[in-house]
Amino acid sequence: MPEDTPVAPAALRSRLRALLMRLYKDRDPDELASEIIAAFWPADHAGGTRPRARARKPGNALWSQKDVLLITYGDSLIDGVYKPLDLLRDFLSENLSGVVNGVHILPFFPFTSDDGFAVTDYTKVNPTLGDWPDIQRIGAEWKLMSDLVLNHVSSQGAWFNAYRQQQPPYDHFFFEASPEDDLSTVVRPRITPLLQEVETAGGTKHVWCTFSHDQVDLNFKNPEVLKEIVRIIRLHVDMGVQIIRLDAVAFVWKEPGTPSIHLPQTHAIVQLLRVLADFAQEPVVLLTETNVPKAENLSYFGQLNEAHWIYNFPLPPLILHAMLSGDARYLAHWMRAMPPAPQGCAYLNFTASHDGIGMRPAEGLLPDEEIARMISTVMDSGGRASMRALPDGGTAVYELNATFFSAVARSYKGDTAHHLDRFIASQTIVMSLEGVPAFYIHAMLATENDLDGVTRRGMNRAINRHRWDYPELRALLDDPQSPQSRVLAELSRRLKLRARQPAFHPNATNFTLTLDDRIMAVWRQAPDRSQSIFALHNVSAETVDLPPRAMNLIADETWTDLLTGETLHPEEDGVTLAPYQCRWITNRG
């Protein structure tokens, strides 16, 4: 055992040992367990942190209905004078206090491409954004999420430069394969060649690049890579990060001749990180970023021993389809089939992120002709489409590139008059479902497609990554008639209401109702049964009248629409929803 390894509970060592035996059969698992513990709880740690005596038990105490996340780049707000992270903190304080309590700052490290996801140095903050004290100040006031870009690093960073020189330990840090290997079944979201030929001090090598040739995949078959990733997590936690997003985690373990996605060793790595999180003194929540079909995504909950949270990736395409078609049936059908998140786990719900609107999670949930119509409608509104490679050599749309605000600009029937109401309804669905809601800054700000950005940067995803001039944005927010002001005000109002409702706890009962094809309806009940909410969302441009007794409400209770404040008598009068109107009908006003 290394001399600097802290005394650790036997249960911690035992769990790590079992997982390490699955990953590194030719290494001493006891020695490796000690090294992993020393990496996460170094003896010289400034804070003196040590493992918990017992693992944190699976439960839902780490989140509540008050948890709402903002997703943003560190430089989504700029003015040419102040540090972007200072502007972000100002925006959070001035506009989102009491609205969101967490913020996901997309990769804030030095990088060379992919808007932050080709990292050159995991230990530094990109100086164009700010510094670690700026990150810590935000983390002191909001639950902070950071990206652990663990599948790959920049080809221009120090690690890969050392690999080219074949300098230990980096000479074995990157995954190599041969062009002669069977790579025909490898699953990946890009159409560029998988292998990149590079010249090194040890000769010609072929390195694995799941995404781009500037993003070279790490070799987790080398335990030194895993230990380095664990040290990076410790740094993030020390800097105030509470939620770790495991970027592209499904691809981390590769085996030629296999799909190289969701392999058992990948799940073992996630389980190992969960063990560290469970024994950490600090609150640490793991979120896996696995933009794949439902069954594969759900597998990252494991047996309560992997991710705390997983993204609800089918939500963006299904909500988009409902809003464009005026038909909630496919969304409701999927919701009925979704199991509740296990104890100690939760879904992360969203419609928009820094990436596009993924089409792959809609496979099998929407008919091909509906997906095609959705794609064409969004593209008619100025959107773009990004492609992925198929095993047979063909291509398919991987994601639609558009801001969600622009994506719902017109319906299938050509309706544009209800644009704002349609968009606000789409975001309200996210607020109403089981799980933790997260909102991309450009959804909160009703940002339109940045077509100039696409032209300027030559990248489809730039359409959804606008950088707001902060003084210009402030002027728009001060104008009560601007879309930015109207959308932010109404979403903020609804989120403040939501935070006070125990029936909107991320793990509260969620039962999908069948009322009308145009209505997405769920019944939520607080974990202690103290409150029920019937959340109704009209996804159409038509007025919908629900008949009396449609929802089987308890007759002797008073029912109030939280969004309008009116007292309702739905068992006598029924309920009317105007085009794109949402109602939160509760027995506890």
Q: Binding-site residues for substrate, please? A: 114, 152, 245-247, 354-355, 461
| 247 is annotated as an active-site residue | yes
For residue 66, what are its two tokens? 């008050």
- Would you give the DSSP letter of residue 347? E
Q: Is residue 438 within a helix (H) or strand (E), and if so which, with residue range?
A: strand 436-440
Measured distance CA(62)–CA(283) in Å, rounded: 7
Q: Which residues are annotated as a binding site?
A: 114, 152, 245-247, 354-355, 461
DSSP string, 194-219: SEEEEEETTEEEEEE-SS-TTEEEB-
In which order are the strands placed within the sheet that holds 567-568? 509-513, 519-525, 532-538, 582-586, 559-561, 567-568
Q: Name the 3-class secondary structure at 520.
A: strand
Measured distance CA(209)–CA(251) in Å, rounded: 10
Which long-range CB contacts under 8 A does 335-339 form with residues at least 24 apart?
Answer: 335/433, 335/510, 335/512, 335/520, 335/522, 336/512, 337/294, 338/294, 339/298
Amino acid, single-letter form, for residue 206: H
Q: Is residue 513 within a helix (H) or strand (E), and if so which, with residue range?
A: strand 509-513
Q: What angle do CA 520, 377, 514 make, to 5 degrees?
A: 15
Measured distance CA(228)–CA(36) in Å, rounded: 9
Catalytic residue (choose from 67, 75, 147, 247): 247
Q: How many residues would you count in the chain?
A: 589
DSSP string, 14-60: HHHHHHHHHH-TTS-HHHHHHHHHHHHS-TT-TT-----SSPPPS-S
Measured distance CA(488)–CA(256) in Å, rounded: 48
- 357-358 and 395-401 strand pairing: antiparallel
Contact 289, 310 (CB under 8 A): no
Kindly give, in sequence order, each residue whose CB lies less than 8 Å from that of residue 327, ignoring residues fewer than 6 positions away.
Answer: 321, 517, 518, 539, 540
Kindly give, in sequence order, each residue whose CB lies less than 8 Å from that of residue 205, ignoring residues fewer than 6 positions away.
Answer: 176, 197, 198, 199
Contact 211, 248 (CB under 8 A): yes
C-alpha dihedral, 379 to 290 to 248 to 207, nearest 10°: -90
**What are the residue numbers of the active site?**
247
